[in-house]
Amino acid sequence: MCICYRYNDRFENAIRIDGPNGVARQPLGTRGYIADYTVESGEPASTGIGTGWWYWSASEDGRYTWALDGSSAFRLTFFTGDALDQLQFVGSADGGGALVLNASAGTRYWIAAGLAPDSVGRQDEDRPAAFTWGPTPVNDERSAAFAIADASGSAAAALGYATSAPGDPVDTVGTGSVWWRWRAPANGWYRFWVAGHPVSTILSVYPDDTSIRAAAGSERSFLANGRVEAHLQARAGRQYDIRLGSRPGVAGSSSAALRWERSGAPAFLSYKGAAVTYDALATNPNARSFRSPQNLTVRDDGHYLFSSSDGGPFAFVRDPRSGEVALGLTPSGGVDAPQREYLNGPHIWWSARHERLFEMDLCEGPYAFRSPDSGSSLERERVALTDPHDSRYCDSVLGAADPEGRHFYSANPWDYGVVLIRADTPTRMSVAQVVSDRGTPGADRLVVPNLGATVDLALSPDGRHLYLLTGNGLFAFRSDPTTGRLERAGDVLRNNDPDGPFYEMGDLRDVAVDANGDTVFVAGARTASSGILDSAVAVFDIGADAARPAHLHTLTRMHFEQDLDAVRASSHLKPDLYGAFYSCERIEPHGHLPAVDVFCRNGYYVVRYNALTRALEVSDFAKSGSDDRFGSAVPALGVVGRQWAQSPDGAHVYTANSATRDALSDEIHLFERASAVPAN
């Protein structure tokens, strides 16, 4: 039997390769076992089992990256010397890895490719398709990072022959990377991105020159909206390291461009912890009635966070900087306060006009609570309600109050319509108008045919327009600034139009208006059988005409669910279908940005309208049981209460969940938006 050896099986038949960069394809052939190659007498043990030989010389001094693809069973080994028995070992790289060779001009380097010495029994693994070589980028190592400066700029990146350091988590930061070092010229937010947002790249920013945990990264944004960008809240004079790496398993360009600029605060959300828990309050005898918190509101000056409970409302003193709270005022009567159980709890709102917290329990009658000049209890007052229509709802869980604190629009999800309640004095209210699909029209009754069952309602920031979401669609009303009475203006009804705003939505769930009054958002159950997002979100323009919402876009999926390259790309942050969000029934305006926070039982996501692309996109997301983009662990959030609260500046958000609703604990959770002023 004839055994035909490869031409370069022997050292004396080594193949010459030239040039500062190149590729040697199929270095060990394409078929058969590696037994086609032998180990000749005198060959160094470090070459391995069965080798082919090459030699190469550098035309000038420099660092060159040599990489062997394929299985780690194979190895590329380098020597210097003039004969086989005089070879001096230089270094080696296993399959899938790389070696940086510090080459001297004119020196001949001998290269052996074969099975690694410890790979006995792995002879049948696929042979390498190629080995490559080329100049190592000067800023390949962190210690050699290029210095960049200024508030904005651009820098070229050579990634083709970049390497990673031993121990690098290549699945999160990339396989081969290059580095820059940047000093922030001023406090504020900065955006770093890769031009063209290639799927083959991963961007990370570190808070100094030694940290291994990034302060900002691109992966979450790439999955959510397709942009390879990292947003950093920088401090003036502080030094940051920037790393650009290649995504494992994705073929990409050997070059890229890093860019950066000053930016506004992005639509990001960070979990800051449970600001209030029953267990912590239970040690205070006057706070043991804090059970089943549902609805929240913040005093107009931001000093107090109020929470409903079975024992009555509680007031917590807020730290305006951190958003953290401490027990301030308890319901009058302490542990002897009347215990009540509500499915959702009465709506509460702070009236700046009357300096009262109103609890809209329209079955027993509204109550007012006054912050005392001294003492530790909220002073409770009965409010007389004049209701000629007998339109009171025993569980007014839906509501919206005008900015002045005089008019309150009440509804519940089991009826058709809205009730306007006017707060005449701190202790007297009256029903001023009823909006319904039934009855006789009149001065104090507005009849809207086919109105549908009420789902949610929201007021514009100036109080001039009310947006009512029903099972039939979105209805817009003008509100008289003096009387608060509503006048029907426009609507967007559900239909079967594939281009319609609600086409891919099942039950409609929530409505929210951004703080600038330019956009209104509607959320509804997504009808697709699979996907990551539980609630689809539609956005409407109301900046041009607040009375006639104009549909802009509807979002049903994240970027990585619909872009083929992103679908194929690996990512340690990519959720799978078994980790989809669920029970996402609350959306909240995201401060002063055209965005909403979507809260779910098992995490949250943020949806923002991008005016440049004229489309909605997910800007941030985090799942329960994992960290958010700022490194905070997100717990199970349970069923978020009907009424959320945010600080006057929109920097802090509070949500509540109740043990009686979802078997979790009685807690108020604190979230911080990227717009928050950083602590010193």
CA distances from residue 13 to 66, 80, 117, 129, 567 in whole angstroms, order as listed: 21, 16, 22, 21, 46
Higher pLDDT: 167 or 598? It is 598
Q: What is the Cα–Cα distance from 143 to 140, expressed in whole angstroms?
A: 9
Phi, psi (5° rounding) for residue 55?
A: -140, 150
Angle formed at CA 191 by CA 186 and CA 196, multiple of 5 degrees? 150
User: Which H/E stretch holds residue 392?
Assistant: none
| 57 and 40 both lie in a single domain | yes
Q: Which residue has the higher pLDDT, 388 or 194?
A: 194
372 C-beta neighbours (distance < 10 Å), count:
12
Q: Give the C-alpha separation, 297 to 299, whole Å.
A: 7
Report d(CA 293, CA 307) in Å as an integer: 6
Which position has the token pair 């006639």? 548
176, part of any domain: yes
For the segment 16-24, the average pLDDT, to the nearest whole number, is 94
User: Over pLDDT 90: what percentage of the chain?
Assistant: 62
Structural domain count of the chain: 2
Q: What's the confidence (pLDDT) of residue 338?
A: 47
User: Binning pLDDT at 50, 70 and 90, where does residue 360 land?
Assistant: confident
Q: 149 pairs with which residues across the strands?
A: none
Together in a domain, 70 and 20: yes
DSSP 103-118: EPBT-EEEEEEEE-TT
CB 206 within 8 A of CB 241: yes
The residue whose two tokens read 């890895």 is 97
Q: Which residue, of 263, 287, 308, is where some domain finishes? A: 263
Say yes or no: 164 and 256 in one domain. yes
What confidence score (pLDDT) does residue 35 get?
53
Q: What is the pLDDT of residues 585-595, one digit of tens each?
A: 889 999 889 99
Q: 168 with 243, same domain?
A: yes
| The pLDDT of residue 364 is above 60 | yes
Do residues 85 and 12 both lie within one domain? yes
- The band of 175, judged by pLDDT with boundaries at 50, 70 and 90, is confident
Nearest to 449 by CA among 464, 433, 438: 438
pLDDT digits (tens, 9 = 90+) for 206-219: 999 999 899 999 99
As a whole number of angstroms, the distance between CA 234 and CA 431 comes to 52
Residue 102 CB neighbours (<10 A)? 12
Mean pLDDT of 243-263: 92
| Cβ(592)–Cβ(516) below 8 Å | yes
The number of angstroms, rounded, from the C-alpha of 637 to the middle of its chain's C-alpha atoms is 16
Q: In which band, very low, low, confident or very high, does the pLDDT at 567 lie, cut at 50, 70 and 90?
A: confident
Q: Which residues of 266-304 are buried (b: 16+ CB within 10 A; e: fewer)?
A: bbbbbbbebbbebeebeeeebbbbbbbbbbbbbbeebeb
**Other CB atoms within 10 Å distance of the CB of residue 105:** 10
> For the ranges 228-242, 330-344, 457-471, 663-677, which has the lowest average pLDDT?
330-344
Are both 120 and 164 inside the same structural domain? Answer: no
What was the pLDDT predicted at 64?
97
Produce one character per residue of 528-546: b if its CB has 16 or more CB atoms within 10 Å, e if not.
eeebbbbbbbbbbbbeeeb
Question: H or E stretch including 660?
Answer: helix 659-662
Nearest to 342 by CA among 289, 397, 296, 392: 397
Q: Residue 14: which domain range?
A: 7-134
Joined together, the tokens standing for residue 541 give: 């323009």
Query: d(Cα 492, Cα 323) in Å, to the nearest integer?
Result: 37
Q: Is residue 425 part of a domain?
A: no
In whole angstroms, give the CA distance from residue 195 to residue 187. Answer: 24
Which pLDDT score is estimated for 278? 86
Judge if 84 and 147 occupy the same domain: no
Same domain flag for 185 and 240: yes
Which stretch of DSSP H or E encloses residue 390?
none
In the numeric block, which tokens belong to residue 62? 């420099």
* Greatest C-alpha distance within the chain: 109
pLDDT for 155? 98
What pLDDT score was predicted for residue 426? 94
Burial class (CB in 10 A: 0-12, 13-18, 19+), 12: exposed
**Weakest mean pLDDT among 301-315, 383-397, 528-542, 652-666:** 383-397
Please state, in angstroms and rounded to a whole number, the distance separating the CA atoms of residues 604 and 638. 11
pLDDT at 528: 76
Taking the C-alpha atoms of residue 602 and residue 623, their distance in angstroms, rounded to an integer, is 6
Nearby residues of 64 by Cβ (< 8 Å), 6 or more positions away: 20, 58, 100, 101, 103, 133, 134, 135, 136, 161
Check which CATH number belongs to the domain holding 241 and give it: 2.60.120.1050
- Kindly state whether residues 146 and 126 are assigned to the same domain: no
- 363 lies in some domain: no
5 vs 97, more confident: 97
β strands within 561-610, DSSP E: 586-589, 595-600, 603-610
Q: What is the DSSP letter of 661?
A: H
Query: How many angstroms separate the CA atoms of 304 and 434, rounded?
Result: 32
What DSSP string describes 221-270?
Answer: HHHHHS--EEEEEE-TT-EEEEEEEEPTT----SEEEEEEEEEPPPS-EE
Which of these three, 134, 168, 195, is where a domain ends?
A: 134
Same domain flag for 129 and 147: no
422, part of any domain: no
Task: List, for residues 514-558, the tens digit of each pLDDT value.
Answer: 999 999 999 999 987 778 999 999 999 999 999 999 999 999 999
Token reading at 434: 């009823």
CA dist 647 and 299 (Å) reads 9
For residue 165, is it within any domain?
Answer: yes
What pLDDT score does 310 carry?
A: 82
Which residue among 263, 296, 317 closes a domain? 263
User: What is the pLDDT at residue 362?
Assistant: 66
CATH of the domain at 105: 2.60.120.380
Statement to judge: residues 200 and 153 lie in one domain: yes
Cα 236 to Cα 646: distance, rounded to the nearest angstrom: 29
Q: Is residue 242 part of a domain?
A: yes
Lowest mean pLDDT among 284-288, 344-348, 393-397, 570-574: 393-397
Q: Is 341 exposed, middle or buried (0-12, 13-18, 19+ CB in 10 A)?
A: exposed
Q: In this predicted structure, what is the pLDDT of residue 287?
A: 83
On the question of pLDDT at 608 being above 90, the answer is yes
29 lies in some domain = yes
For 602-624, b/e burial (b = at least 16 CB within 10 A) is bbbbbbbbeeeeeebbbbbbbbb
Burial class (CB in 10 A: 0-12, 13-18, 19+), 236: exposed
Looking at residue 541, its pLDDT comes to 98
Q: Are both 146 and 110 inside the same structural domain?
A: no
576 DSSP 8-state letter: P
Q: Say if 13 falls within a structural domain.
A: yes
Tokens linked to 317: 């003193």
Closest by CA to 177, choosing from 193, 200, 154, is 200
More confident residue, 227 or 398: 227
Q: What φ, ψ does residue 171 adopt, rounded to 5°?
A: -70, -20
What pLDDT score was predicted for residue 253?
A: 84
